[in-house]
Structure 1
Amino acid sequence: MAVKILHNDDNFIIVNKPYDMYINSDDVNEKNTVACHIASQDSHLSSSSQPLHFVQRLDYATSGVLCIAKNKRAAAQAGRLLEKRFAKKYYLAVLRGHVKFHSCRIEYEIGDDPSTQDTNHKMLAVTDPASQSASRSRSARTTLLVLETGFYGGDPASVVLMKPTTGRRHQLRVHCSTIGHTILGDYTYSDGKDASTDRMFLHAMRLILPFQDETLDIQTAEPFYSDDSFNNKWKTETVFHGFRESDEFISTCAVIDLLSEDSDILVFQYNSKAS
């Protein structure tokens, strides 16, 4: 699949990454990477003739907005926005099951799953004060808003918007799985049970980087309903918030922005540091 360029200037190249594609690879024979599509196989290395700086990461199975810096100064600027949590990221996902609440904030810490360090390196959410199963856990925060419920292939499913405040490995996938709704097509966090779909339905749809001199606000088109293979299996039940058109999606982003600071919202949390 082609890598579509969404924005290109002297400092950044921002692309729409396809699903099932690596960002880069140290394997010289691996050509299924964003780096190979827009530059060279070794462009993520400082020794490259045209080095790029991947200031943001997306999983192999995740599609959507990916920001890449063209120089160290730009990489540092973007990195500070992400580190200080000034950047805003919005993800569209389809979850297994009908989510029973309108919105929530998930604040479970996330750490390594020691049992998978030699395999696919899964992550774990810390939900039990007595559990020590996750190692090196760090705080993680995701706001979730239900957009639509329906049926995929006859099975109940929900379309949601997620806004992560932190950026932990597999954060959205782990948080969704932990509240009982794995992402449709997530083979890893369904313990290998969800293998019937063409892809994992998680997409980074919008990224806002408020630089001092300008704000980059990059958005992709809605990725799922424009795909016939999804549409042929999807039946809408209830729509709560519009998101398929750009202006609708921007308005819905404003809703989740408010929810991310709402003290009355349903919160899933356990803070190990308080025990």
Structure 2
Amino acid sequence: MAVVKLYQSDNFLVVNKPYDMYINSDDENEKNTVACHIAKQDSHRSKSAHPLHFVQRLDYSTSGVLCMALNKTAAASAGRLFEKRLTNKYYLAIVRGHLNFEICDIKYPVGSDQTSPDSSHKMLALTEATRSLCGSPRSAETRFLVLESGYYEDNPVTVVLLKPLTGRRHQLRVHCSAIGHTILGDYTYSDRQDTSPHRMFLHATRLVLPLPKEPLDIQTAEPFFSDSRFTSKWTPLAKKYSYCDKEDFIKVCDVIHQINEIRENYKLFI
């Protein structure tokens, strides 16, 4: 699958990362990486004198907006925004099940899953049930907005907008699993049970970086409903918000910030 450029300047390169692709690898024989694909298109990027600085990370199974700095100064500038939590990241996901709320905050800390091998890097949300199993938990917060409900292969699913307020490893996947609504196609956090979908349905759709000299607001097209492998198995039920057009997606991004206006359908997981 192609790595599509969404934006490029002297300081930054932003691409649409495909699902099931690493961003980079220490294994020189691993070619299924964003870094390798970019090097094929721009040969001088394969040289150590012109490295790519990944200012954010996306899991192997996650697709969407991925930002890289092209020099150390730009990397430091973007890094400070992430450290101070001044960026805004918005993800589309499809989760298993139907939900009894419209918006929620998930504030379970996230740490390592002590029941898994160290090599798996599997994480776990800290709840009353997992207190003895979650290693070195750190605070984590995700906001979750219901967009549309339906069925996938006759099983209930829900399209949601996710906004991470922190950036822990696998945070969105872990938080969705912790509230009983695992992301469709998430092999790892479904205990290796969810194998029928062709991909994991998590996509980084919009990234806002308020850089002082080069503010970025980068968005991809909606990725799921343009894929016949999904739509051939999808049956709609109820839509709460329009979100497939770029203008509509910006509007639902605004909605997810307006928590006080829809408090009656709000739920807190803590």
When normalised by structure 1's length, the TM-score is 0.92
Q: 1-side partners of 2:7 and 2:66: how far apart?
A: 10
Q: 2-side partners of 1:262 and 1:48: how far apart?
A: 51
Name 1:149's counterpart in structure 2.
149
Name 1:273's counterpart in structure 2.
none
Work out the percentage of aligned pairs sharing the same amino acid. 59
Q: 2-side partners of 1:121 and 1:37: how far apart?
A: 25
Alpha-carbon distance change, 130 to 242 in structure 1, aligned in 2, over 3 angstroms: closer
Look up the equivalent residue of 1:117 and give its one-letter code: P
Contact 1:97 1:156 survives alignment (8 Å): yes
SS across alignment from 2:58: coil
Say yes or no: does 1:240 pair with 2:225: no
Name 1:110's counterpart in structure 2.
110
Alpha-carbon deviation of 1:263?
A: 7.6
Q: What is the total number of aligned residue pairs between the two structures?
A: 268
Contact 1:44 1:54 survives alignment (8 Å): no
Alpha-carbon distance change, 44 to 146 in structure 1, aligned in 2, over 3 angstroms: farther
Alpha-carbon distance change, 42 to 143 in structure 1, aligned in 2, over 3 angstroms: farther
Q: 2-side partners of 1:44 and 1:113: how far apart?
A: 36
SS across alignment from 1:32: coil
Contact 1:26 1:42 survives alignment (8 Å): no
Alpha-carbon distance change, 260 to 64 in structure 1, aligned in 2, over 3 angstroms: farther
- Structure 1 residue runs of 4 or more that deviate by more than 6 Å after TM superposition: 40-45, 260-264
Contact 1:35 1:43 survives alignment (8 Å): no
SS across alignment from 2:217: strand
Name 1:266's counterpart in structure 2.
267
Alpha-carbon deviation of 1:166?
A: 0.4
Alpha-carbon distance change, 166 to 44 in structure 1, aligned in 2, over 3 angstroms: farther
Alpha-carbon deviation of 1:39?
A: 2.1
Name 1:196's counterpart in structure 2.
196
The CA deviation string for residues 138-192 of structure 1, in whole angstroms up to 9 with x for no partner, is: 0000000000000001100000000001000000000000000000000000001
Q: 2-side partners of 1:130 and 1:36: how far apart?
A: 39
Look up the equivalent residue of 2:23 and give its one-letter code: I
* Structure with the bigger percentage of helix: 2
Say yes or no: does 1:4 pair with 2:15: no
More displaced stretch, 125-134 vs 169-178:
125-134
Alpha-carbon deviation of 1:128?
A: 1.2
SS across alignment from 1:74: helix
Name 1:186's counterpart in structure 2.
186
More displaced stretch, 82-91 vs 209-218:
209-218
Contact 2:142 2:163 survives alignment (8 Å): yes
Q: 1-side partners of 2:169 and 2:253: how far apart?
A: 23
Contact 2:38 2:45 survives alignment (8 Å): no
Q: What's the Cα RMSD here?
A: 2.2
Tell me, which stretches of 5 or more residues in structure 1 are unaligned?
A: 270-275
Look up the equivalent residue of 2:244 and give its one-letter code: R
Q: 1-side partners of 2:29 and 2:200: how far apart?
A: 25
Name 1:75's counterpart in structure 2.
75
More displaced stretch, 257-266 vs 83-92:
257-266
